[in-house]
Every structure is written in structure tokens, then in C-alpha cells.
Amino acid sequence: MPEIAEIARAVHFFRVYLVGKTIKHATAIEDANVFGKAGTTGPEFAAAMTGKKVLSAGSQGKYFWLVLDIPPHPVFHFGMTGWVHIKGDRTAYTNYYKKMKPEELDMWPPKFWKFQLKTDDDSPVEVAFTDPRRFGRVRLVDCPGESIRQHSPLVENGPDPVVDTDIFTEEFLKNKMRSRHVPVKALLLDQAFISGIGNWVGDEVLYHAKLHPEQYCDEFNDDQITDLYKSIRYVCQLAVDKLGDSDQFPEHWLFNYRWGKGKKGAAGALPNGEKLAFLTVGGRTSCYAPNIQKKTGRVVPGVEEEPLGADIGARPKKASKTKLSKGVKIEPVESEEEESKSKKSSKQKVDKAAKAVKKEAPAPKNKRKAEEAEEEEAEEEKPKPAKKGKTSSTKKGAVANGGDLEEGKTTESMAARRRSGRLQAK
């Protein structure tokens, strides 16, 4: 999905080719998604554009717009695959054109077009908006040009880290992070919090700040938040300055190496030798360097982690210790139990009691039998049976899956009941 840098690129071409010109002709097809879901129609959009002079172009995060001499004004969102094309120029990136068939390179109007504009110059400029997957949105906002951002959908979005430097300050970031309890990567992707950061920008920002993507945002100290703020400003500003042209991104950026997932022969590492891995929470994937972006606080439970090398087009599989590539260090996921000191204390007591029990009972000769015995004891102590396939034995006789003690039962009574069971068996 186009992010802050790609939007800056589209606005750049609007300013070069359209600002100061009058639109003589406008044509738009009827598309219930691109126009309809934004509250307008193709014909309404075409009528609103015809005969209007373009005064300026602007952006906020993933949205961008044209200010016309007479409202309403068009506001655009690329969605997943939207783009703006100029006849006679190549506005997209090299890889975009590499994926096209030879006969499509100079085709006009381009394939999957939704609207076309043509200026009234002696050498008219022709513009087209394309969107193969139709997740993009084209809407009309009826207001004075200078107040577009005070109207929906822009008013619901957070500040742009490049455009709104007076709003997006370090104090703003600190207050937002202290008031939320979500993974920091999820916070960065929340457009209501900050506009323009998507998946690759979010990964880049966290890599430079050396922060683990799934650590809760309110678990970072002031110095870490300062680093994150500087990283957001640095990555977003430079990416916008380069108009999203990745060929001009610094060599040490994560962006240059994160796309190796699923590619045969991909190194799966940075130039300095640091290994890369992916983790998935709630269906969102993050690329990060585990040895650089270490956890310093609690992380969201249920993280699935995997090294580079999985199929990029497939849904990430759950990590398996026996299937991880060599050299990739995957840290264990912290459980819910670790979110409470009292729960942690209870687990320690159970471990201590279990050690005492283990000394009294003869150790089974087979290690697997010992693990099964501990697993059966743990199951007996649980008030409700666990779902099939979800139980796991923990070392030193701790309660399975790090579960809490059953209400009303003490550690001592549990240990006593275990001893009693063994004596009766004898």
C-alpha cells in the first residue's frame, strides 16, 4: 500500500503538471467502490472537475488532494494498488514498469483507469488514475480550499510527521504512547494517531530506534521515546525528500533487505551480518532484527515469529523450534502471567513446591515418562480441562501453560496432595 513517501511522489507530479492549469475535459467510469464508497459517482466527479483551474496540491499522510478555483475539491486515497499516471512520463518506480507487459508500457489510457483529465494547453497534459484492485477512493469535498483538512476524512486522521511538525512533537508522541496500551507497531499504523506510516515505514522506524515492534507502547522509557521520535522524523522526512525512490534510500536501511522473504537464495540478513526475522500478530507482519530490536518490557501475547525464507504470498506459519533456520535467534514469547507480579510470585512458589516433591519421588528412568508424569499432575491441578492440543508441560513441575493457581487452594495444599497421591500408589 502506498505510504507517506509514495503520496509525496504523486503530489509532486500533480504540482509539476497540473497546478496552474485548467482542466478542459474530465472522464470517469462508474465504479461503485472507488467512487461509490466515497459518496460520489464517476459522472459527478467528471462534472466537478471539468472547466476548473487547479490552484494547488497537498497531502496528509496517505491522503492527497487538489484545490480547485471553485469547490468541490477532489480528495484521493490510493488504497492498495492505486496510482496516478501522466501521459509521456513515468511517474511510478522501476519495478512497477518491470511487471507490465511490453504492450502495456505506452498504452493510453492505461489499463484499469478510473478517471482521466486533460488540460486546455496547446500541448495538453493528460492524467489518469488507475486502481486494479479497487481499494482506492476518490471523493469530493465541498468546502473552501483552505479548510479541506477540517473536513472528513482528513479531520479524523492524525498529524503528518513531515507536514505537521508543529503538532507532531516529542511531547505529543510521549503523551500518546503513555495513554495507550497496544503494541508500538500497531500504534504507528493507526492513522488516527499519526498519518502516513504503513508497514514498511513502521518497520524502518522501529529498526532505527532499536525497538521491538510488539512491545507495548506504554512500556518504553523517555529515552526510548526520544529515539523513536527522532527515527520517525528521520525516516519519513528522508523518504519524502527522495519522493519514495528506494534506489536513493541509504544502503543501511532495512527497506533494502526486508523484501527477501520467500525469495530463493535471499540472504535474510543485513550487510553487518545481523539476521532478520518476521513476526505476526493479529494478521499483521513485521520485519525486524531480533538481536538489535530486543524486548525491554512486556509484549503482546500470541506472537508468531519466523526467520526470513517463508513464502511471501502465503499466510505465515506458526514458528517451530525444530524448523527455524540456523543462526536466527527467536526469543520466547512472554505469557500473560508475567503481566502481574502476584501471578509471577505464585508460579515461583509452585516451582519451589514441585522441586520438593520431585526430591521425594523416585525419578522415572525415561525422561519422556517424567515429562508425561509432570503433565498429568499439572492437568489434575487445573480446575477445568484445557482444550486439546493446547497443553504443554513446563519444567520443574510448574502449572501447565503458566496458568494461575485455582482460587482457594494454597501452594502447600497442592504439594501435600501430590505427596499423598504418590504414597497411596505405593
- Known catalytic residues are 2-3, 62
> Distance (Å, rounded) from C-alpha 413 to C-alpha 402?
19
Residue in the block written with cell 504507528 = 188
**Residue 306 main-chain phi, psi, to 5 deg:** -150, 150
Close Cβ partners of 357 (under 8 Å, ≥ 6 residues apart)? 397, 415, 418, 419
Bridge pairing between strands 284-288 and 304-307: unpaired
**What cell was used for 6?**
509514495
How far is the CA of 363 from the CAs of 82, 359, 367, 370, 374, in angstroms? 65, 8, 9, 7, 11
Q: Which three cell numbers stand for residue 271?
A: 550487510
Distance CA 142, CA 16 (A): 25
Element (H, E) at 172: helix 170-179
**Cβ pair 10, 64 in contact under 8 A:** yes
Taking the CA atoms of 415, 416, 419 and 424 in sequence, report the sign of the dihedral they define. Answer: negative
Q: State which amino acid sits at residue 323.
A: K
Number of H helices, E strands in the chain: 11, 11
404's CB contacts (< 8 A; 6+ apart) are 337, 343, 346
- Cα 63 versus chain centre, distance: 18
Nearest CA among 324, 303, 244 for reference residue 293: 303
Cα–Cα nearest to 213, from 202, 226, 222: 202
Contact between 46 and 127 (Cβ < 8 Å)? no
C-alpha cell belonging to residue 216? 507495548
Q: Residues near 170 by Cβ (< 8 Å), separated by ≥ 6?
A: 225, 226, 229
